Amino acid sequence: MQPELSALWETLRRLGAHQPGRVALHGDGLVCHYGQLLHEVERREEWLRAEPPGVFALALENGPEALLWDLAALLAGRPCVILPPFFTPAQRAHCLEQTGATLLLADGDMAEELAGLGFAADPPFWRRPQRGDAVLPAGTAKITYTSGSTGAPKGVCLSAQALLRVAYEVELASRPAEPQRYLAVLPLAVLLENLGIYAALLAGAEIVLLPQERLGIGGASSVDWPRLLDCIALSGAQSLILVPQLLLGLVTAIERGQMQVGPLRFVAVGGAHVSPELLARAAQVGLPVYEGYGLSECASVVCLNRPGANRPGSVGQPLPHVQVRLAEDSEVLVSGSVALGYLGEAPFDGEWWPTGDVGRFDEDGYLYLGGRKKNQFITSFGRNVNPEWVEAELTQNGVILQAFVHGEGLHQNLALLWPLDPQCADATLAAAVEQANRNLPDYAQIHAWRRLPQPFDLASGTLTANGRPRRAAILERYRNELSALVTE
């Protein structure tokens, strides 16, 4: 067994022996104490070891059962993929086909979908025959899917060593705040949340794992704020991980007196850019927020602000398990705990992983990010979106001739549109947008749009010579129009 894996099990054994009555997990009607946690994991591990080898897929709602099976797969050395609940059926099918998963645990409402993919129910599992061998890099423990900058998400293959080393460093970074109750807000399929839970286990904390619906979260961006705020308050959480849009809602609620900071001691935020203004507002109400930075390809967390080393506006200093440097063009490069490679591609054999982000360091080693190197943007919910993908959906129905999509750091995706027929009614454009949205997962859908006063063209500098949009020029020209589309 790898040292990092041995250290996790030894921690769980020690907690089970010395604090058997302490609650480890609770949620959705199930409570598991540290005295029984390892037994429950090992029982599930035996079931997995008795199965033929292959990728194990989890399509369970957040809850103790999902985590117990996730830990069992880790202990059994069985590659595991957790399907994001905000993926479309087509994206889930892509994940299952690409991984070649033959064994799956799912909630009951997926029965028809799974049957259509060749799975048959054999409780507690769903099974299907082997369909060729998925090419996994040696040592793959987890396959985590990006949120899909295009229609087909990419499977990132990670080792148990990389995952647990990051979890250990995150726990160490948060240790001065001594959080002892952790609320999982994001889906377990989000690697940042997955590792946050591992870190909480290493700390011997009590983990509250509720279904997303109970939290008031639907899909990738729908939030029932009263329900979510009630859950945070009633859970007594001392620590949680948020994406920027959820942090905005929490800060706003505290400012309006709708809830108190309460026992919260360590609120990590990541997944997308956080505005300095929001961080200042959080500090003003006394909310202990620590911004970090990472990516799935580097096992999630690379840099993190922390108690005693917090510089708002930066994403913190690199954690000890990685080295970070800048390329000549200021792209952030990372070495240490990087992915084994992408599923279906050659294993990664380089020393430095190119992140696609541009950054700079200050004199004390805090990293400041300056945006994406390419056109892909990240919403405030931490979802990667390639604008060309969405623009193609908008312009393929014969109504919209030109489309420009923007959503960097926003909770809404915005579009500027020029119709094929300049005389067409706005209602026709709205129907075309609605039709395109039906073919997109909710994190890539257009939430607000504006009709352009004139088409993009070479003369105005909004198109290149080969007809591609000049994105920086369009953003500069239409910045006010786009800003006016954003709602709270």
Mode of pairing for the β-strands spanning 317-318 and 303-304:
antiparallel
- Name the residue among 213, 216, 275 with its Cα closest to residue 243: 275
Nearest to 444, CA basis, from 59, 152, 58: 152
Domains and CATH numbers, the chain: 1-374 (3.40.50.12780), 386-485 (3.30.300.30)
Tell me, letter by letter, the H, E, C secondary structure of 92-138. HHHHHHHHCCCEEEECHHHHHHHHHCCCEEECCEEECCCCCCCCCCC
Q: Find the distance separating the first CA and the last CA of the chain, reported in whole Å.
A: 49
Of 129, 70, 133, residue with least CA distance to 98: 133
pLDDT at 351: 93
Structure tokens at 392: 């193609």
Phi, psi values for residue 457, rounded to 5°: -155, 170
pLDDT of residue 439: 85
pTM for the full model?
0.86
- Walk along the chain (488 residues) and give the pLDDT tens digit of each residue: 788 899 999 999 999 999 999 999 999 889 999 999 999 999 999 999 999 999 999 999 999 999 999 999 999 999 999 999 888 898 899 999 999 999 999 988 899 999 999 999 999 999 999 876 678 999 999 999 986 545 578 899 999 999 999 999 999 999 999 999 999 999 999 999 999 999 999 999 999 999 999 999 987 667 899 999 999 999 999 999 999 889 989 999 999 999 999 999 999 999 877 878 789 999 999 999 999 999 999 999 999 999 999 999 999 999 999 999 999 999 999 999 999 999 989 999 999 999 999 899 999 999 999 877 888 888 999 888 888 889 988 987 779 989 999 999 999 999 999 998 999 999 999 999 999 999 899 899 999 999 999 999 878 889 875 577 889 999 999 999 999 999 86
Q: What is the pLDDT of residue 1?
A: 72
Interatomic CA distance for residues 10 and 178, integer angstroms = 21
What pLDDT is stored for residue 314 in this prediction? 96
Query: With contact defined as beta carbons under 8 Å apart, do 429 and 400 qualify?
Result: yes
Separation of alpha carbons 25 and 223, rounded Å: 24
Return the structure tokens found at 59: 């399509």
